[in-house]
Amino acid sequence: MKKLFLLATLLAILAAACGSGTSDAESVAPDARGEVVASHPTRIISLSPTATEILFAIGAGDQVVAVDSFSYFPEEAPVTDLSAYEPSIEAIAAFEPDLVVLTGGGQEELEALGVRVVVQLAAVTIEDVYDQITELGIDTGNEDGAAELISSMRSDISEILAELPEIDEPLTYFHELDDTLYSVTSTTFIGAVYEMAGLVNIADLADEDGSAFGYPQLTQEYILDSDPDFIFLADAQCCAQTPAVVGDRPGWGELAAVQNGRVVEVDADIASRWGPRVVDYLRAIVDAVVTVPAG
C-alpha cells in the first residue's frame, strides 16, 4: 500500500506540472484571487493529503466532511475511499460539498454541478507553500489561522537553518524514493528542501534535459560513481529499506554515506507532502547534517 501511494503521488505530481489554476463557481464576496464566492464553506472535501493537513492546521478541520483515502493525517481527518487521483464525481457529489480541494482532474465536472473548486498544484518552493496556506485560509474563513501557521513555520525554519554548521566542501546526497532507485532533482519541492539545508543533489546531472520531470531513475553505477555524502531513504516504509540493507547492496558498502553512518531513514509521507510538516522534514535533514564535523 505504501509503495502504491508513493507511485501514485509521483504520477500526480507529474500530472500537476502540466497545468495550473484555481476556480470558483459562485460569487458574492472577494476571495484570495480577487474573485467572488458565496460564503465560507461548511462542507469541504479535500482530495489532497497536503491540503488536508493544511486545512486542519489552520483551524478548518470542523468544516471538512470528507477526505481522500490517503489523507490519514491528522488522525481526526474523516478518511473515506474517495480517490485523489481518479476522482468519482458521483461519489464526491453524494457528500453535498460546498468546496472541493483538488490537485488534478475533476474540476470542470464539479463546477458544472455548481460545486466550488480550488485546485492546488504541487509546490516547487517554500513560498508556494505559504501561498497555498494563505489561499485556503481566505477561502475557508480562517485567515488568522493561516497567518499564524505561516508565521510559525517561518520562525521554525529560520531556527533550524541557524543550526547548520560551516562546511568547507559542499555535501552531496542521494534521495531514494523507492528500491528501484527513483530519485528527485533540485527542481522538485523535495529537492528544494535539501537545497535549503545546503546539500548538493547527485541526481541533478541525471535529468539535465528535464525529460524525467525532476524524477529520474538512477543506476547503481551512477550512484556508486557519485559517492554521495548522505543517502536519505524515503522507502523504509514502502520497501523495507534500511541502512543495513543499503550497506549490503553490492558495492554500496564502500560509499562514504555508508561508511560514515550517514544513511538516514525519512518519513515517506512527510517527504512527499508540502504542507505544515515540511518543518519536520527539514529538521530531519539538518539533524543529519549537524553531525558532520565543522571546518
pLDDT for residue 24: 41
The answer to whether residues 215 and 14 touch, using CB atoms and an 8 Å cutoff, is: yes
What is d(CA 156, CA 150) in angstroms, rounded to the nearest whole number? 10
Rounded to 5 degrees, φ, ψ at 175 are -100, 115
3-state SS assignment for residue 79: strand
CB-based contacts of 4: which residues, under 8 Å, 6+ apart? none
User: What percent of the chain has a predicted confidence (pLDDT) above 70?
Assistant: 86
Q: Give tens-digit pLDDT for 242-265.
A: 999 999 999 999 999 999 999 999
How remote is the C-alpha of 147 from its chain's centroid? 20
Specify the CATH number for 163-289; select among 3.40.50.2000, 3.40.50.970, 3.30.420.40, 3.40.50.1980. 3.40.50.1980
* Locus of grid cell 464576496: 29
CATH architecture of 2-144: 3-Layer(aba) Sandwich (3.40)
Does 17 have pLDDT greater than 60?
Answer: no
Does 38 have pLDDT greater than 90?
Answer: no
The answer to whether residues 139 and 31 touch, using CB atoms and an 8 Å cutoff, is: yes
* Locus of grid cell 543533489: 201
163-289: same fold as 2-144? yes
Does 7 have pLDDT greater than 60?
Answer: no
What is d(CA 28, CA 39) in angstroms, rounded to the nearest whole number? 7
* Locus of grid cell 453524494: 94
What is d(CA 145, CA 142) in angstroms, rounded to the nearest whole number? 5
| Mean per-residue pLDDT, 186-191 | 96
Q: Give the DSSP letter string of 88-146.
A: -HHHHHTT--SEEEESSS-HHHHHHTT--EEE-PPPSSHHHHHHHHHHHHHHHT-HHHH
The answer to whether residues 199 and 171 touch, using CB atoms and an 8 Å cutoff, is: yes
Q: Give tens-digit pLDDT for 208-244.
A: 999 999 999 999 999 999 999 999 999 999 999 999 9
Which among 65, 69, 67, 109 has a CA at the least distance from the CA of 89? Answer: 109
Does 22 have pLDDT greater than 70?
Answer: no
Q: How many residues does the chain have?
A: 295
Which sequence spans correspond to the domains of the chain? 2-144, 163-289
- Band (21; pLDDT cuts 50, 70, 90): very low
User: What percent of the chain has a predicted confidence (pLDDT) above 90?
Assistant: 78
Amino acid in position 187: T
pLDDT for residue 73: 95
Neighbour order of strands in the sheet with 230-233: 200-201, 172-176, 230-233, 263-265
Q: Give tens-digit pLDDT for 161-171.
A: 999 988 888 99
CB-based contacts of 72: which residues, under 8 Å, 6+ apart? 49, 79
The answer to whether residues 30 and 38 touch, using CB atoms and an 8 Å cutoff, is: no
